[in-house]
Structure 1
Amino acid sequence: MFPFDNSYARLPESFHASVYPEPVEGPVLIAFNAQLAQHLGLDLDASDAGRLAAIFSGNVLPPGAEPLAMAYAGHQFGNFVPRLGDGRAILLGEVVDAGGKRCDIQLKGAGPTPFSRRGDGRAALGPVLREYILSEAMAALGIPATRALAAVASGERVQRERMLPGAVFTRVAASHVRIGTFQFFAARSDTDALKTLVDYVIDRHYPDLKAEEKPALALLQRVAERQAELVARWLGIGFIHGVMNTDNMTLSGETIDFGPCAFLDEYEPMKVFSSIDQQGRYAYRNQPGIAQWNIARLAECLLPLIDADEEQAVTAANAVLQSFGAHFQAAWLGVFRGKLGLATQEDGDDELVQALLSAMQDGRADFTLTFRRLTDLAQADAAGGDARLQAEAVFLEGFMPWEKAEAWLATWRNRLSREPDAPASIALMRRANPAIIPRNHRVEELIAAALAGDLSPFHRMLAAVSDPYADHAEFDAYREAPKDEERVLRTFCGT
């Protein structure tokens, strides 16, 4: 049924705690990702909803599973907590997918673990549906992220600010090793465990680093590059993670944990949605700096393994940290060049992007719609005539003042005219600028409907975000920016 091969369970006992899911009363299947299951090599009958609900609620343990909760620490909003761990997540085991990639299969909300810290280990329906939608949307947008395999209603109630219907989410990840995993052992001065963890991560994610003279340093460099590229891609779709704690940053370079995350509507670089981010630490614009800060915490853990001479280790680690900014800037500019249809590189491209973002901020322009309409304008420019004038009018209506936007358009068109292949530039923009994102107000609407017993908005939105770069008339409503009264001002973690 599940071709398990559980490498993390074979690590020393200090890395995890054995724990079994706690059965729920009346599991009912909400969603099952049959395509992903097939890719993972899972032999499951998609038509047997009862059997799937039993498995993905934790009521039935698949043969070969070795359920465990992972140990880790973490900086939460800058404050170090030496013992966190999986408080409501249970790793069933690992499988190797059709591409030869090892993947974790984890239940969230399947009951308490030794790391629950007096929590109930459960999940409410709303956060489960949010994570399902966001996981699959990110994957469809081409952003490295954990995936959604299943969602099950538990048939029980959970106590949060009020009593809410419970649910269990099944998450698939390249792995769940985090910077906080390294911090857990560094806080205990357990160098042997850190060495084991470095070897494990390299074997699992970066086997090409095995031959490096200083593998821990090479790992630090690779993780820094992956995170710089990931955050650049976040910014390219207006994504705000909301909780970039070190225990939410994976060594694999995947986006993980979709609690209070949100997407920009109007472009505001210091935008914050997360209700627990009172100081704006994880605002949209701050995410690259926070990623670098988190990498610095990883570097601290790895110093004893980088070099026996502490001074040399610090010098080598600092060189990696100093390179982060340049690597991020190159990745960010590459993302936004694509959004403007620029396949080539010229001096002044950065200023072109910044000028557009400045105009968008002045006009409170919608981030996603601006770039999508710019894509339509590029297409209309190629056609000429009335189509061009109409597309320009639609593009400009999102801006105040218009004069600034019109001046920018002239500069952009001049730059675009130097691209060697106009159709290729338009195709590049269509791959870089989605028509549909999981807008915050739509996510809140589907959660409210689900709490009232109607899951149809969830399934409809899931279909909409699964093909975000295409134009589907039946999903036009998901393209629209929220009206003032629909705007979501705060998002919540759900734990």
Structure 2
Amino acid sequence: MTNKTGWNLDNSYARLPEKFFTSTNPTPVRSPELIILNESMADSLGLDVKLLQSEDGVEVFAGNEIPEGASPLAQAYAGHQFGHFNMLGDGRAILLGEQVLPEGGRVDIQLKGPGRTPYSRGGDGRAALGPMLREYIISEAMHGLGIPTTRSLAVVTTGETVIRETGLPGAIMTRVASSHLRVGTFQFAAKWGTIEELRTLADYAIERHFPDIEADESRYLSLLQEVVKRQAELIAQWQLVGFIHGVMNTDNMTISGETIDYGPCAFMDAYDPATVFSSIDRQGRYAYGNQPVIGGWNLARFAESLLPLLHDDEDQAVTLAQDKISIFNDLYQSNWLAGMRAKLGIFNEETQDEALINGILSMMKKHGADYTNTFRALTFDKMEDTVLFGTPEFAQWQELWQARLGRQKESKESSNQLMQNSNPAVIPRNHRVEEALEAAVEQEDYSVMERLLDVLANPYAHCEKQAEYAALPESTKPYRTFCGT
């Protein structure tokens, strides 16, 4: 197929040792239909939106046609899943290649749900429409919130049924990522590769994501440090908006610091660190309050995989790795504190700030206050909209907060603007996401999803059309999410 649509694909990952992937083509589908196309993203990738919407463009999104320059492959990786180590790999995803961007740089173009691969482990390699649209909605919401994330370029239906507990409409999503290099990719290399293969992978990660450290004398130690930094920033951003990933296995943690694999993810309503939505997380391993701890645990597994590259002496390598891993908690905490100060309109730092922050959070937990809407109420001085209003403890806290704001040189207007820029008007409320998915899957009505996406595109706009999407669900029934595989 010609590149008239603007595909400009290279395949640097395919030039790694063959151990890291298996070349494989998507399995064609019967009658693909384009459901949604991310037009602004397509423009940024240098693609022709109109041609992508044509039959030729849809055939690529469906895996029926391979664009010129593509070299389809399934990536090999391992991972700790709920703490247990397994050999994994792309069981229902195929990397077409890397789109070289008009301004330089590159991003992965991956099909999710295009059929079986050598790593499918008995699965059908297919995906259902609901989970693919869910990933599209949540990843675009994360992008709107300014949080590093993989994104969705398009979703097509396949005209075929996938069997899960019941028959569901099949779909394929086209995912865009800085890369799909995972902690689990390095775990795979350390377990089943040679030291030279591990070194080649590390060099590739540095060249692709951290070119500034290529000349470092201890470049692999610098690689560990940079990944620790990015993950500390990322997880702090998750916490600041109440995002719960739901399945923080090491194969779902990127080297680039992007959020990836939106399976049983959701956003928290009432503030509670113990919040879990995933039906398979029965022990709460990946609860909201545990995410920073698990982030550190996953990074320790990454460090273990790099040990042969850090020093010839294993004990020395462990010491060097521990030194870099030890900074994660402090980095996370400083990122989180900076973000929480901004949510409260605070520009400078005082030692009592953490107590002030924990004070409002503990009240929110005690009274079951909504996380997002409480900060929104503080932003617009509408505390009567929250359950905290009228309690003596909140009145006391508010006095302390106002006194704190009075001790900084910035004006009240500047402080309020900082809060508006730090507290979203809307998040993808679970009941709104379900409403959109139900209309799409059950009635083939995509207008509900399109309106939701429009509202989520600029969550800090605080505009009139966002107000109804900030409302809480009427039902108090516990919300459950499912993996989607």
TM-score (norm 2): 0.96
Query: Which residue pairs with 2:184 in the alignment?
Result: 180
CA contact (8 A) 2:425 2:466 kept: no
> Which stretch shifts more, 400-409 or 448-457?
400-409
1:383 corresponds in structure 2 to: none
In the other structure, the counterpart of 1:384 is: none
Q: What code does the residue aligned with 1:349 have?
A: D
Which of 13, 18, 23 is equivalent to 2:18? 13
Uncovered stretches (5+) of structure 1, i.e. residues with no partner: 378-390
CA contact (8 A) 1:150 1:170 kept: yes
- Preserved CA contact (<8 Å) 1:436 1:478: yes
Name the CA distance, whole Å, in 1 between partners of 2:172 and 2:335. Answer: 36
Matching residue of 2:145: 141
What do residues 421-470 of structure 1 show as CA deviations (whole Å, max 9, x unaligned)?
22222111111100111111111111111122222111111111111111
Length-normalised TM-score, structure 1 = 0.94
- The 2-side partners of 1:98 and 1:469 are apart by 29
* Counterparts of residues 188-207 of structure 1 (less than 5 Å): 188-207=192-211
CA distance in 1, matches of 2:478, 2:95: 33
Give 1:418's aligned residue: 407
Partner Cα separation in structure 2 for residue 483 and residue 20 of structure 1: 46
Amino acid at match of 1:204: R
SS of residue paired to 1:272: coil
Does the 8 Å CA contact 1:29/1:50 hold for their aligned counterparts?
Answer: no
Q: 1:334-356: per-residue Cα shift (whole Å, max 9, x none)?
A: 11111111111111111111001
Instruction: Kindly indicate whether the alpha-carbon contact (under 8 Å) linking 2:52 and 2:58 is maintained by their aligned counterparts in 1.
Output: no
Contact 2:233–2:332 (CA<8 Å) still a contact in 1? yes
SS state at 1:45 partner: helix
Percent of aligned positions that are identical = 54
Shift of 1:475: 3.3
The equivalent residue for 2:3 is none
Out of 22, 27, 30, the position equivalent to 1:25 is 30
Give the distance between the partners of 2:366 and 2:51, measured in 1 at CA.
50
Q: 1:79 aligns with which of 77, 81, 84?
A: 84
Aligned partner of 1:491 in structure 2 is: 481
Note the C-alpha offset of 1:52: 2.9
For 1:44 and 1:117, locate their aligned partners in 2 and report how far apart those are by CA, in whole Å. Answer: 36
Q: Which residue of 2 aligns with 1:408?
A: 397
Instruction: Specify the SS of the correspondent of 1:269.
Output: coil
Q: 2:330 is matched with which residue: 317, 326, 330?
A: 326
Aligned equivalents of 2:176, 2:88: Cα separation in 1? 21
CA displacement 1:209-265 (0-9 Å, x = unmatched): 112111111111110111011000000000000000000000000000110001100
Q: Which secondary structure state, in structure 2, belongs to the residue aligned with residue 255 of structure 1?
A: coil
Q: Deviations over 1:53-111 (max 9, x none)?
A: 22211112111111110000000000000x20001011011023245332001000111
SS in 2 for 1:170: strand
In the TM superposition, 1:59-208 aligns within 5 A as: 59-81=64-86, 83-208=87-212
Q: Deviations over 1:263-301 (max 9, x none)?
A: 100001110001110100000000001000000001111
Q: Write the deviation string for residues 145-173 of structure 1: whole angstroms up to 9, x where unpaired.
A: 00110011111110011110011101000
The question of whether the paired residues in 2 share the 8 Å contact of 1:464 and 1:475 is answered with yes
| Aligned CA distance change for structure 1 residues 47 and 110 (closer, same or farther; 3 Å) | closer
Offset, 1:43: 3.4
What SS class does the counterpart of residue 298 from structure 1 fall into?
A: helix
Number of residues paired by the alignment?
478
C-alpha contact 2:253 2:260 (8 A) present in aligned 1: yes
The amino acid that maps onto 1:119 is G
For the structure 1 residues 401 and 280, does the alpha-carbon distance in structure 2 shift closer, same or farther, using more than 3 Å as the test?
farther
- Partner AA of 1:4 in structure 2: L
- Does the 8 Å contact 2:424/2:462 carry over to 1? no
Mapped partners of 1:151, 1:133: distance in 2: 11
Tell me, yes or no, if structure 1 residue 466 matches structure 2 residue 460: no
- The alignment partner of 1:470 has SS state of coil
The equivalent of 1:314 in structure 2 is 318
Aligned to 1:334, the other structure's residue is in SS state helix
Q: Is the 8 A contact 1:101 1:174 kept in 2?
A: no
Q: Is the 8 A contact 1:144 1:253 kept in 2?
A: yes
Counterpart contact for 1:242–1:260, Cα < 8 Å? yes
Distance 1:64 1:51, change over 3 A: same
Whether contact under 8 Å (2:144, 2:457) holds in the other structure is yes
In structure 1, the residue corresponding to 2:326 is in which secondary structure?
Answer: helix
Is contact 2:383-2:389 (8 Å) kept? no
Greater alpha carbon shift after TM alignment, 442-451 vs 162-171: 442-451
- The answer for the alignment partner of 1:399 in structure 2 is 388
Aligned-pair CA distance for 1:419: 2.5
- Look up the equivalent residue of 1:433 and give its one-letter code: N
Q: In the TM superposition, what is the alpha-carbon distance from 1:190 to its structure 2 partner?
A: 1.8
Letter in 1 for 2:294: I
Q: Secondary structure at the match of 2:246?
A: coil
- RMSD of aligned C-alpha atoms? 1.4
1:436 aligns with 426
Residue 229 (structure 1) aligned to one of 221, 227, 233: 233
2:216 to 206, 212, 216: 212
Instruction: Give me the whole-angstrom Cα distance separating, in 1, the residues matched to 2:462 and 2:342.
Output: 19
Is the 1:362–1:401 contact (alpha carbons within 8 Å) kept by the matching residues of 2?
no
1:260-275 aligned within 5 A: 260-275=264-279
SS in 1 for 2:168: strand
**8 Å CA contact 2:145, 2:459 repeated in 1:** yes
- What amino acid is aligned across from residue 238 of structure 1 in structure 2? G
Give the corresponding residue for 2:296: 292
Q: Is the 8 A contact 2:151 2:175 kept in 1?
A: yes
For 1:363, give the aligned amino acid.
H
